């Protein structure tokens, strides 16, 4: 296995509109085998690959590789007169012929079936030179990656292992930042309280001194005045000795940067759920469901309630989308439907609908969207959200609604590995019913308990 040295020295990159992708990144890395490149949608993974390939130049700093040969398979390629799956297999076959260069792969698993995915994994394992891979397939990254680069908020962090190891390391970093921020804030509050206490002690002594001076009896006045003067001088002395130190301590604490803390898990978010929702029922009598393309699915009747957690499984074209659309067409209250590929005007309509949503509900939607990795800018400043941002906003809107069932058709479409992990955590906590078609085995195993298999135009209902 060939090794490649990669050196980054104060590397920064920003787009002309000012959006920062990398910020003063430094480090020496040895590439051998497969390195996974992970991070949330829009963090700059494809941009970093383009920098490594020499297609972009850094805004400042330097980037150096110990070889000149780099092969880059972009995520989007010119359309060919063949199916997306066949085009992807042909493209990967071409790029794997060069075994001597550093290989950069941007979402190579898109449109690949299980056989093609196994072939991709085999080639990566046996390749002579290293590869850097961006992929939403968490299981693949866990199997093949020797290390992971995590890119987020302009920072690049390297960890050993695959996606899961990097995700756990990221969560530990965030937990540490939260603890440090909370400790700093507590120390600021304590210093402020001590300053206020010293001031109040001095003011109390001053009041006693003034009251003593107003005593009518001369003997009492002298005795009381002497005691009040003593308390006042002692408080003043204490204040004079401590105030400068306390103020210096407070200034030091407040001068420490209060790092922005992300709380992008869903542990603090409550779903709008009550027990009455669990009594919902959805049923289709025995018969056939027919897709617009003429595909017919025969079934013996479907019965779902608020505790059903079902994965629809079957090869492409077997009718999973048809069955979900048939359930959605029943148009029952409390049933939310996520189509596989909403029309572009549907995403724009969603955006306008959210902008008109009352602030109380909008706040819950945006909190859920942030937990899924979406940016509030997607709602406030863009005329047309990216497919990934639109997907997260749509999912957040569904989770924030008083639904008892979610019908999800390939919910991971357009989501990166980090967002899929967040979605999995959300669906694990979701208290209602789920019927989901997904190619992501890890998500299906975590969020569902029953598997319905579609094959040869028939639906078989079996427990996992």
Q: How far apart are the first and last CA of the chain?
A: 41
d(CA 414, CA 409): 12
Triad 22, 23, 29: Cα angle to 5°: 70
**Is the distance from CB of 61 to CB of 154 less than 8 angstroms?**
no
Span of 236-250, 274-288, 378-392 with lowest mean pLDDT: 236-250
H or E stretch covering 388: helix 387-399
Residue 259 has pLDDT above 60, yes or no: no
For residue 389, what pLDDT is reported? 82
Length of the chain: 464
Triad 70, 74, 80: Cα angle to 5°: 125
Which burial class, exposed, middle or buried, applies to 401 when counting CB atoms under 10 A from its CB (0-12, 13-18, 19+)?
middle
Phi/psi-derived region of residue 110, left when phi > 0, alpha when psi is between -120 and 50, beta in every other case: beta
Question: Per-residue confidence at 78, pLDDT binned at 50, 70, 90?
Answer: very low
284-324 pLDDT tens trace? 777 777 765 666 777 777 888 888 999 998 877 778 888 88
Residue 156 has pLDDT above 70, yes or no: yes
Choice between 393 and 210, residue whose per-residue pLDDT is larger = 393
* DSSP letter string, 215-252: -SSHHHHHHHHHHHHHHHHHHHHHHHHHHHHHHHHHHH
Provide mean pLDDT across the span 50-75: 89
Question: Per-residue confidence at 202, pLDDT binned at 50, 70, 90?
Answer: low
Phi/psi-derived region of residue 270, left when phi > 0, alpha when psi is between -120 and 50, beta in every other case: beta
Residue 262 has pLDDT above 60, yes or no: no
For residue 131, what pLDDT is reported? 94
SS3 108: coil
**Is the distance from CB of 23 to CB of 399 less than 8 angstroms?**
no
Residue 81 has pLDDT above 60, yes or no: no
d(CA 52, CA 32): 16
Indicate the average pLDDT of the chain.
Answer: 80
Question: Per-residue confidence at 165, pLDDT binned at 50, 70, 90?
Answer: very high
Choice between 60 and 181, residue whose per-residue pLDDT is larger = 60
For residue 460, what pLDDT is reported? 80
Q: Calculate what percentage of the chain has a pLDDT beyond 70.
A: 77
Residue 109 has pLDDT above 70, yes or no: yes
Sorted by sequence, the CB contacts under 8 Å of residue 354 that are 6+ apart come out as 362, 365, 379, 393, 397
Phi/psi-derived region of residue 66, left when phi > 0, alpha when psi is between -120 and 50, beta in every other case: alpha
Which burial class, exposed, middle or buried, applies to 316 when counting CB atoms under 10 A from its CB (0-12, 13-18, 19+)?
exposed
Beta-bridge partner residues of 56? none
* DSSP letter string, 397-428: HHHTS--SEEEEESTTTT--HHHHHHHHHHHH
Residue 269 has pLDDT above 80, yes or no: no
Report residue 211 CA to chain centroid gap.
63
d(CA 110, CA 35): 18
Choice between 180 and 404, residue whose per-residue pLDDT is larger = 404
Q: Helix H segments across 133-271?
A: 138-144, 163-213, 218-255
The 8-class DSSP code of residue 206 comes to H
Tokens of 459: 């639906």
d(CA 250, CA 192): 7
Cα dihedral 135, 139, 145, 148 sign: positive
H or E stretch covering 35: strand 34-38
Beta-bridge partner residues of 31? 4
């Amino acid at each position: 296995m060939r090794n490649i040295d990669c050196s980054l020295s104060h590397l920064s990159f920003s787009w002309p509109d000012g959006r920062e992708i990398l910020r003063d990144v430094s480090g020496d890395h040895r590439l051998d085998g497969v390195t996974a490149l992970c991070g949330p949608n829009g963090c700059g993974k494809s941009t970093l690959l383009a920098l490594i390939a020499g297609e972009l130049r850094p805004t400042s700093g330097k980037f150096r590789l110990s070889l000149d040969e780099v092969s880059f398979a972009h995520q989007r390629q010119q359309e060919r007169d063949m199916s997306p799956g066949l085009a992807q297999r042909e493209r990967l076959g071409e790029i794997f012929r060069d075994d001597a260069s550093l290989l950069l792969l941007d979402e190579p698993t898109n449109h690949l079936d299980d056989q093609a995915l196994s072939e991709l994994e085999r080639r990566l394992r046996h390749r002579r030179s290293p590869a850097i891979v961006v992929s939403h397939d968490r299981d693949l990254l866990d199997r093949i990656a020797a290390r992971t680069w995590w890119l987020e908020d302009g920072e690049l962090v390297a960890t050993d292992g695959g996606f899961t190891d990097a995700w756990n390391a990221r969560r530990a970093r965030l937990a540490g930042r939260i603890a440090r921020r909370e400790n700093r804030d507590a120390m600021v509050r304590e210093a402020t309280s001590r300053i206020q206490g010293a001031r109040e002690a001095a003011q109390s002594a001053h009041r006693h001194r003034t009251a003593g001076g107003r005593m009518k009896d001369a003997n009492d006045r002298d005795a009381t005045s002497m005691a009040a003067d003593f308390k006042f001088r002692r408080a003043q002395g204490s204040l004079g000795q401590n105030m400068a130190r306390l103020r210096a301590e407070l200034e030091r604490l407040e001068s420490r940067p209060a790092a922005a803390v992300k709380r992008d898990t869903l542990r603090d978010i409550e779903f709008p759920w009550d027990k009455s929702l669990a009594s919902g029922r959805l049923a289709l009598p025995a018969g056939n469901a027919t897709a617009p393309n003429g595909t017919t699915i025969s079934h013996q009747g479907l019965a779902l309630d608020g505790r059903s957690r079902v994965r629809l499984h079957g090869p492409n074209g077997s009718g999973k989308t048809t069955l979900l659309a048939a359930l959605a067409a029943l148009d029952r209250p409390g049933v939310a439907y996520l189509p596989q590929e909403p029309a572009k005007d549907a995403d724009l309509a969603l955006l306008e609908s959210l902008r008109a949503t009352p602030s109380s509900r909008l706040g819950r939607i945006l909190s859920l969207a942030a937990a899924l990795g979406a940016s509030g800018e997607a709602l406030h400043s863009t005329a047309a959200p990216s497919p990934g941002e639109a997907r997260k906003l749509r999912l957040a809107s569904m989770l924030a609604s008083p639904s008892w069932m979610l019908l999800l058709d390939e919910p991971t479409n357009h989501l990166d590995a980090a967002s899929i992990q967040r979605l999995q955590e959300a669906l694990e906590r979701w208290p209602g019913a789920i019927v989901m078609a997904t190619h992501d085995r890890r998500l299906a195993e975590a969020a569902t308990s029953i598997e319905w298999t579609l094959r040869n135009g028939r639906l078989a209902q079996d427990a996992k």
